[in-house]
Chain A
Amino acid sequence: MIELVPSDAEAIDRGEPSLELRHLHRFFGRLKAVDDVSFKAWPGQVMGFIGPNGAGKTTSMRVMATLDTPTAGDAFICGYSVVDDPDKVRRYLGFMPDSFGKYANMNVVEYLDFFARAYGLKDAERRDAIEHVLVFTELRKLADKSIDSLSKGMSQRLGLGRCLIHDPQVMILDEPAAGLDPRARVELRELIRLLATEMNKTVLISSHILTELGEICDSAAIIEAGQILAYGTIDEIQRQQISVDADSTGRRALHVRLASVDNLEAATSSLEKWLLEQPMVKDVQCSIGHAMFDIEGDDTEQQQLLQNLMAVGHPIIEFHGKTQSLEDAFMNITKGITQ
């Protein structure tokens, strides 16, 4: 198992986490749907929960949402245990399942009104909450429309609005973008971003669309076969994955960019020649203004190489390790195990 220990996420003092899983287990007979899962999330954080189908994402989310009980371990929402205090947890939690729960013969306002009442909101507080949600989700114009006739995108907005009606601190969204067209997806993404940035909510979101998660999440947990394979900020996961690759091959890929000097072609050629002379440098590939190569060694060798490059006088303006997308990291970390 690849163990990525987050640094930024836990090192920075953010106070108490609003969402925490401690050694969560959920077994169905012999099937270990969730096997010793632990992570934390803080207010204002959008955390991606990533994994292939059957990895244990929805099971974990159902436990966090007090729809299921763990076989062992616990989950805490704003400090309350989902096992011991599910009724308190529910006050601080908004859960959007992967399917939109529809009621027949009901319009948008009545739907929100019912859930506002179900969360104990009364009088002006209830009316204000409904109005706020209608404005936030931009459903004001559709307030009197039957929920049966809403498009998928509008239904997802209404689902999000339902989650928000009691102003929870933590929101758990299970595949909210599934089945949405590109415009609806972008709009939903913006709404989710606002939840964290403007409303300081903790958002845990699962999705298969990793490029999107990469754009809205500041941290992620990658789960497969019920176990967390990687957990940390998106940058950490991407960078550390490269480090892991380097550790396993003994090489690390680097990229160098040259400044736009007068004779860039000559400068590139000079750089290529110099690199080929270095014993720890392998597989040099150059294009005008760029050079990509592998270096054998650790941080010390990398630092030494950079110093030498500068000392020789190459007009370098960028020197960094090869970046990879969240999708690349996911593909590298997961093994395609199904259970």
Chain B
Amino acid sequence: MSSGETFLHLTDYVTDRLNPILVKETRQALKSRQFIITFMLLLTVAWLISVFGVVLNGPAIEFGAAGRMFFAWYVGVLGFATLFVVPFGAFRSMLNERDYNTYELLSISTLSPRQIVTGKLLSALAQVLIYYSAIAPFIAFTSLLQGFDLPLVVLILSLGLLWSLFVSTVAIMLSTLANSRQWQALTTIGMIALLLWQMVTAFAFGGIAISESIPFDNDEFWWGLGSMLVGMGGYLLLAQQIAVSRLTFESGNRSSGIRIISTVQFWLTWVGILAYGGWYGVSNIEGDAVFAFAISASIHWGIAGLIFSTESEHISRRVRRGIPQSQFLRLLYAPWLPGGRRGLLLLTLHLAALIVIGRWSSWPQWIGNHVMQLPVWESWVGDATTALALYVFIYVGFGSAVGRLGQAITPEFRPAHSRVLTILLVPLTMVAPYVPGMFSYRYQVRSGSYYWVTNPFSTLRRISSSNRGWSGSSPEEAQVYLFILGIAAAIVLLVNLRALIAGVSDVLDWPSAANSESAASDTEGTNAVVPG
């Protein structure tokens, strides 16, 4: 066998073990006009930068810190390719599958949705690496100049690579959300705007990093970098899972993966905060840090909870087959199984956890200063976190109840309807206190009135002020707000209580996998599969 044949066989052997989408897309990309143009442009511009840079610097290039300047320019050129062209290519690649009727061919193959998404992502990564290899000689050139900083170069290039991967994942996720032509057009415009915005932002951060000296010996820097990477990794996995779920066959489990990742993100963030506190001593956790966590967790669970709690209640036999046999495990697993009622349960449990975290963080003043010193001793954090969690529960609980009511009235009422209604409810309740004042000055709701409780921002401001004794407010004011919110949340809970219990009992009552199979064959031809 000649060396050429050996090489071909080796290539075949290796590519057989790679993701088929990666092989296909790499073949296509290497022949595509877009790739060739971008690649040639990148080389040409980098070459021009080198030539003109050297000429314009003149003899100063020998002793000035030109290395950083050249590096910044090369990174800029590279950034356009890796932060705009590649993610947009990944976005279009998925849309093209639909436009050219190839998506159906993919989906009926034995490729799993995860393989499809991962393949798209890997091909984006392969392109990024090709662009990196193209710019490598130019960056090597900067190492000959003064001001070249290897740790900085490694950090910027690594972060650039990860950021490109993250943006590409989000792009792929967004491309799976739009099915109709109109939505695709709208999403494409949004995608371009988003990519431009993130690219400019990344350039701004990159510029600062290159021009300033990075404090590599500072612990805080590594904590910040680590948090950013963990956060980015978490949302990368979430975006990937959403894309996978969107491509999963209708009778498959589209929800549990997203639920599990959302849960892990929440607890990982809290563990990260505790670890940070542990590193520096617990007293270093500031109330603002806990409240920032509460805000991000509320937004996270507000969005995720609204989607989970308005899901279709139908569980296919295929999904049922995958649930544990043991009743105890079923009970534990129930909140992570598909279905709106279990989605609301998952949300309720996490909001309860958030309240506990907020209260625990402000423990000493909540029950008295004689208690042992705990991380945060700012009582407003506990109150504000509780208020945030209650607001999320009220809004999402409302959406869930409306969804079930709508479904009971007409099967035409879809999850999207209850989601839109809930989203509309938020601004409506926020502007509600302004409405009387629109008719007459006499009816204007005065600042400090409890009517403002329908506006979460106003409530949070008052709670924060009242605990700190600002704006002439008293500590009791926060308790009144919490009382009102508590009553509203209790009503919402009561409205949803039966559904919450049914969500769990359904799971416990499902026949085991073997029974389910026989039940299925007994009732063959009558199984109702209601698309969500």
* Chain A contacts to B: CB under 8 angstroms: 22-23, 29, 38, 65-74, 81, 83-87, 90-91, 93, 95, 97, 99-106, 110, 114-115, 117-120, 122-123, 126-127, 162, 166
B27 lies within 8 A of A106 (CB): yes
Within 8 Å CB of A126, what residues of B? 16
Within 8 Å CB of A72, what residues of B? 525-529
CB distance from A162 to the nearest CB of B (A): 7
Question: In whole angstroms, what is the CA distance A81 to B516 when docked?
Answer: 14
B101 lies within 8 A of A69 (CB): no
Within 8 Å CB of B321, what residues of A? 84
B249 lies within 8 A of A99 (CB): no
Within 8 Å CB of B103, what residues of A? 101
B101 lies within 8 A of A99 (CB): yes
Q: Restricting to B298-332, which residues have a CB under 8 Å from any CB of A?
A: 316-318, 321
Within 8 Å CB of B373, what residues of A? none
Beyond A83-B251, A86-B249, A120-B110: 18 further Cβ-contacts under 8 Å? A23-B525, A65-B108, A66-B107, A67-B108, A71-B529, A71-B530, A73-B527, A83-B316, A84-B251, A86-B251, A91-B110, A100-B101, A101-B102, A101-B105, A105-B28, A106-B31, A110-B24, A166-B110
A115 lies within 8 A of B109 (CB): yes
B101 lies within 8 A of A118 (CB): no
Measured CB to CB, the nearest residue on chain B to A62 is: B104
Q: Say if the beta carbon of B20 comes within 8 Å of chain A.
A: yes
Question: In whole angstroms, what is the CA distance A93 to B20 when docked?
Answer: 19
Within 8 Å CB of A71, what residues of B? 528-531
Q: Say if the beta carbon of B216 comes within 8 Å of chain A.
A: no
CB distance from B432 to the nearest CB of A (A): 35
Question: In whole angstroms, what is the CA distance A90 to B105 when docked?
Answer: 11
User: Known contacts A22-B524, A72-B529, A73-B525: does B251 contact A95 (CB below 8 Å)?
Assistant: no
Q: Say if the beta carbon of B196 comes within 8 Å of chain A.
A: no
B110 lies within 8 A of A87 (CB): yes
A84 lies within 8 A of B524 (CB): no
User: Known contacts A97-B101, A105-B32, A114-B24: does B526 contact A23 (CB below 8 Å)?
Assistant: yes
A102 lies within 8 A of B102 (CB): yes
Q: Restricting to B96-147, which residues have a CB under 8 Å from any CB of A?
A: 96, 100-112
User: Top 3 closest A-B pairs, CB basis?
Assistant: A117-B20, A101-B102, A118-B109
Interface-centre pick from B317, B412, B525 (highest chain A CB count, 10 A): B525
Within 8 Å CB of B250, what residues of A? 68-69
* Chain B contacts to A: CB under 8 angstroms: 12-13, 16, 20, 23-24, 27-28, 31-32, 96, 100-112, 249-252, 316-318, 321, 412, 520, 524-531
B317 lies within 8 A of A84 (CB): yes
Within 8 Å CB of A81, what residues of B? 520
A95 lies within 8 A of B109 (CB): no
B527 lies within 8 A of A83 (CB): yes
A105 lies within 8 A of B31 (CB): yes
Question: In whole angstroms, what is the CA distance A61 to B316 when docked?
Answer: 21
A117 lies within 8 A of B249 (CB): no
Measured CB to CB, the nearest residue on chain A to B252 is: A86
Question: In whole angstroms, what is the CA distance A23 to B524 when docked?
Answer: 9
CB distance from A174 to the nearest CB of B (A): 11
User: Known contacts A84-B520, A86-B251, A90-B109: does B100 contact A103 (CB below 8 Å)?
Assistant: yes
Residue of B105, B318, B528, B530 touching A84 (CB-CB under 8 A):
B318
Residue of A85, A93, A100 touching B108 (CB-CB under 8 A):
A93
Within 8 Å CB of A86, what residues of B? 249, 251-252
CB distance from A285 to the nearest CB of B (A): 49
A117 lies within 8 A of B16 (CB): yes
Within 8 Å CB of A118, what residues of B? 20, 106, 109-111
B108 lies within 8 A of A104 (CB): no
Question: In whole angstroms, what is the CA distance A71 to B532 when docked?
Answer: 11
Measured CB to CB, the nearest residue on chain A to B318 is: A84
Within 8 Å CB of A29, what residues of B? 412
Would you give 17 A-B contacts (Cβ < 8 Å), ordered by A? A66-B107, A67-B107, A72-B525, A73-B526, A74-B525, A83-B527, A84-B251, A84-B318, A87-B110, A87-B112, A95-B104, A104-B28, A106-B24, A114-B23, A117-B20, A118-B20, A126-B16
A69 lies within 8 A of B105 (CB): no
Within 8 Å CB of A123, what residues of B? 12-13, 16
Within 8 Å CB of A87, what residues of B? 110, 112
Within 8 Å CB of A110, what residues of B? 24, 27
Within 8 Å CB of B20, what residues of A? 114, 117-118
Question: In whole angstroms, what is the CA distance A115 to B105 when docked?
Answer: 9
Within 8 Å CB of B252, what residues of A? 86
A117 lies within 8 A of B23 (CB): yes
B105 lies within 8 A of A74 (CB): no
CB distance from A296 to the nearest CB of B (A): 42
Measured CB to CB, the nearest residue on chain B to A146 is: B31
Question: In whole angstroms, what is the CA distance A310 to B530 when docked?
Answer: 63
Within 8 Å CB of B527, what residues of A? 72-74, 83
Question: In whole angstroms, what is the CA distance A161 to B245 when docked?
Answer: 30
Question: In whole angstroms, what is the CA distance A99 to B106 when docked?
Answer: 14
CB distance from B417 to the nearest CB of A (A): 14
A69 lies within 8 A of B100 (CB): no
A83 lies within 8 A of B529 (CB): yes
Measured CB to CB, the nearest residue on chain B to A94 is: B108
Question: In whole angstroms, what is the CA distance A66 to B100 when docked?
Answer: 19
Question: In whole angstroms, what is the CA distance A238 to B307 when docked?
Answer: 54
Within 8 Å CB of B23, what residues of A? 114, 117
Within 8 Å CB of B531, what residues of A? 69, 71
B16 lies within 8 A of A102 (CB): no
Question: In whole angstroms, what is the CA distance A120 to B20 when docked?
Answer: 9
Residue of A38, A162, A166 touching B105 (CB-CB under 8 A):
A162
Question: In whole angstroms, what is the CA distance A99 to B99 when docked?
Answer: 11
Within 8 Å CB of B101, what residues of A? 97, 99-102
Within 8 Å CB of A73, what residues of B? 525-527
CB distance from B23 to the nearest CB of A (A): 6
Question: In whole angstroms, what is the CA distance A110 to B251 when docked?
Answer: 32
Question: In whole angstroms, what is the CA distance A105 to B141 when docked?
Answer: 35
Within 8 Å CB of B249, what residues of A? 66, 69, 86
Question: In whole angstroms, what is the CA distance A95 to B316 when docked?
Answer: 24
Question: In whole angstroms, what is the CA distance A65 to B108 when docked?
Answer: 7
Within 8 Å CB of A85, what residues of B? 318
Question: In whole angstroms, what is the CA distance A239 to B28 when docked?
Answer: 54
Within 8 Å CB of B112, what residues of A? 87
User: Known contacts A22-B524, A83-B527, A118-B20: does B318 contact A97 (CB below 8 Å)?
Assistant: no
A66 lies within 8 A of B108 (CB): yes
Within 8 Å CB of B28, what residues of A? 103-106
Question: In whole angstroms, what is the CA distance A295 to B316 when docked?
Answer: 56
CB distance from B99 to the nearest CB of A (A): 10
Within 8 Å CB of B110, what residues of A? 87, 90-91, 118-120, 166
Within 8 Å CB of A90, what residues of B? 108-110
CB distance from B50 to the nearest CB of A (A): 31
A67 lies within 8 A of B104 (CB): yes
Within 8 Å CB of A67, what residues of B? 104, 107-108
Residue of B24, B104, B251, B529 touching A103 (CB-CB under 8 A):
B24
Question: In whole angstroms, what is the CA distance A297 to B186 when docked?
Answer: 68
Measured CB to CB, the nearest residue on chain A to B116 is: A118
Within 8 Å CB of A38, what residues of B? 525
CB distance from B89 to the nearest CB of A (A): 12
Question: In whole angstroms, what is the CA distance A127 to B316 when docked?
Answer: 38
